[in-house]
């Protein structure tokens, strides 16, 4: 006997999407967040299925504006894991922004041994030439976030536009995000993170996608507003 009759579940993707977001808006306490951050929070909740995530979000109020601006001007997105890069939707990127993951760079294994650290942290070391003004999304390794903060503490270090910190796990995840909150404030860096052990590649990618979708939508609306009505014969291509 089937556990669920075929007619008892929703198959229409549009209806699934609509109900999912309606449920999030009904159950999550989004009012405690600044208005610009709410669409990003909704995407994060959708990625993990936990409406109480709102209670654990920590952030700088400028993170949405800063992240959108960086994406809107074509800055790259630096990620710590291939899973994050796979979750970022190319079609949402407002300027076909590059997604850079250095984890599988051939220099990383030797560099990790020399540094006495993880491959994830060693990969971050290779971000130095592309870090300035970039959007950073960490969704896996606490050591990647720790090493990023070590780099940013150096005099004259290149500064990213925004850090989306979602390392996950039982060793170092909580501590790395607590340190992010402290150091980002000291450095004046916009950031978004989730307290505690929760996180993951899906959340990091969802945050990037949300910022990109917001920025691309505004750019497209601005472009449309400059077009003359077709009846006037001056519609732009």
Around 47, how many Cα atoms within 13 Å sit in the side-chain half-sphere? 26
Q: How far apart are CA 30 and CA 42, in angstroms?
A: 8
Q: How far apart are CA 9 and CA 65, in angstroms?
A: 39
Q: Residue 4: what pLDDT? A: 54
Annotate 127-141 with DSSP letters as a single string.
TGGG-TTPEEEE-S-
CB-CB neighbours of 225 under 10 Å = 7
* Residues forming the active site: 46
**Residue 192, helix vs strand vs coil:** strand
In this structure, the dihedral spanned by the alpha carbons of residues 100, 216, 89 and 102, taken in order and rounded to 10 degrees, is 10
Question: Which neighbouring-strand residues pair with 78?
Answer: 100, 136
- Here the tokens at position 122 are 């060693």
Residue 237: pLDDT band with limits 50, 70, 90: very low
pLDDT at residue 34 tops 60: yes
Residue 235: pLDDT band with limits 50, 70, 90: very low
Find all residues with CB under 8 Å of 87, minimum gap 6, and list them. Answer: 201, 202, 204, 205, 206, 209
Q: Residue 10: what pLDDT? A: 86
43-75: pLDDT as tens digits: 999 999 999 999 999 999 999 999 999 999 999
pLDDT at residue 230 tops 70: no
Contact present, 79 and 102 (Cβ < 8 Å)? no
Q: Give, as one character, the DSSP assignment of residue 162.
A: E
Distance of CA 50 to the CA centre of its chain: 17
In the chain, alpha helices (H): 13-27, 38-48, 63-72, 82-87, 108-115, 119-125, 142-152, 173-187, 201-225
Q: Which helix (H) or strand (E) holds 12?
A: none
67-92: pLDDT as tens digits: 999 999 999 999 999 999 999 999 99
Q: Residue 229: what pLDDT? A: 37
């Amino acid at each position: 006997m089937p556990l669920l009759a075929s007619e008892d579940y929703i198959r229409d993707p549009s209806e699934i999407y609509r109900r999912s977001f309606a449920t999030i808006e009904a159950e999550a306490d989004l009012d405690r967040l600044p208005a610009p951050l709410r669409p990003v929070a909704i995407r994060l909740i959708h990625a993990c299925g936990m409406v109480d995530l709102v209670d654990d979000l920590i952030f700088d109020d400028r993170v949405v504006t800063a992240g959108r601006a960086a994406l809107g001007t074509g800055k790259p997105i630096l990620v710590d894991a291939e899973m994050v890069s796979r979750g970022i939707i190319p079609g949402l990127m407002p300027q076909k922004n590059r997604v850079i993951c250095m984890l599988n760079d051939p220099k990383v294994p030797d560099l990790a041994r020399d540094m006495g650290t993880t491959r994830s942290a060693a990969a971050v070391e290779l971000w130095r030439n592309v870090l300035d003004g970039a959007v950073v999304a960490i969704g896996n390794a606490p050591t990647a976030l720790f090493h990023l903060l070590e780099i940013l503490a150096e005099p004259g270090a290149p500064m990213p536009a925004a850090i989306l910190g979602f390392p996950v796990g039982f060793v170092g995840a909580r501590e790395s995000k607590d340190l992010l909150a402290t150091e980002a404030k000291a450095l004046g860096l916009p950031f978004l993170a989730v307290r505690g052990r929760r996180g993951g590649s899906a959340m990091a990618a969802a945050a990037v996608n949300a910022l990109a979708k917001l920025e691309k939508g505004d750019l497209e609306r601005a472009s449309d507003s400059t077009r003359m009505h077709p009846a006037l014969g001056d519609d732009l291509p």
